Amino acid sequence: MTRMARIIIDFVDKGLRAISALCLVVLSTLVVFQVISRYGWGSVPLFTEETARYAMIWMALLAAAIGVRDAAHIRIDFVPSILGAVSPVALRALNVALDVISLAVFLTLLWFGIDSMIFAAGQTSDGMQIPLSYPYSVLPISFFFASVFAVLRIVALDART
């Protein structure tokens, strides 16, 4: 079971990284395109700025989910590092407690992210004329994966530190 689980987790992990990098490719291309089109033929299509903004939000939220797995989020590790020097067991306990708090945050945001998404479905975007629920769907999606990664850290299936 664990081997299968590991393969799936690694696949999801790689996929999220690829999509988030791809979003950065899209947003940088669109921004450069915007400059070229303004000076090249004097007008900018409506959709560029909007699509670039959506790409950035997708990139940032998916990267935030990956950051949970990598434990890469910016934090003050002053107390944990002192605690680790005094008692490694206490540090392990603190880390589990922090992961549990994070999980509670992610599950709340997953729940209310779905709420926001449904609410946004009634509006249409100015540029691409799509329902706003499409871009908003990244809220529940990324906090779903953040929850999964937090659970993996808590049950210590995922050995990354």
Partner 1 sequence: MTPSLTALVLSFLGLILVGLPIAWAMIASVLVWVTVTGNWYFLPIASERIYQGMDSFVLMAVPLFILAGEMVNAGKITDRLLNFANAIFGWMRGGLAQVNVGASILFSGITGVALGDIASLGRVFIPSMISQGYTPAYAAAVTASSSIIGPMVPPSLIAVIYGSMSDVSIGALMAATLVPGLLIGVVQMGLVAVQARIYDFPRVEMDRSPRAIGHATGHALVPLMIPVIILTGMLGGIMTPTEAGGIAAAYALIVSVVLYRSIRVSALADVFSRSALFSGQLLIIVGCGAAFSWAMGMENVPRLVGATVENWGLGYFGTMLVFNLILLVLGMVIDPTTVIILFGPLLSSAAAHAGIDPLHFGAVAILNLNVGLLTPPLGVCLFAAEKIAGCGLWPLLRSTAPFLLVTLCMLVLVAAFPEISLWLPRVLGF
Binding site for partner 1 (CB under 8 A): 17-18, 20-25, 27-28, 31-32, 34-35, 49, 52-53, 56-57, 59-64, 66-67, 70, 72-80, 94, 98, 101-102, 104-105, 108-109, 112-113, 115-116, 119, 136, 139
Pick 9 or 98: Cβ nearer partner 1? 98
d(CA 5, CA 8): 5
Pick 5 or 104: Cβ nearer partner 1? 104
Pick 1 or 85: Cβ nearer partner 1? 85
Nearest approach in angstroms of CB 92 to partner 1 is 13
d(CA 70, CA 65): 9
d(CA 74, CA 20): 19
Nearest approach in angstroms of CB 4 to partner 1 is 26
- Residue type (1 letter), 139: L
> What's the residue count for the chain?
161
Nearest approach in angstroms of CB 56 to partner 1 is 5
Which residue carries 């791809």 as its tokens?
22
Burial status of residue 37 (CB atoms within 10 A of its CB: 0-12, 13-18, 19 or more): middle
Pick 3 or 72: Cβ nearer partner 1? 72
Tell me which H or E stretch contains 9: helix 2-41
Nearest approach in angstroms of CB 61 to partner 1 is 7
Beta carbons of 69 and 13 less than 8 angstroms apart: yes
The answer for residues whose C-beta is within 8 angstroms of residue 81's C-beta and 6 or more apart is: none
Pick 8 or 101: Cβ nearer partner 1? 101
Nearest approach in angstroms of CB 155 to partner 1 is 19
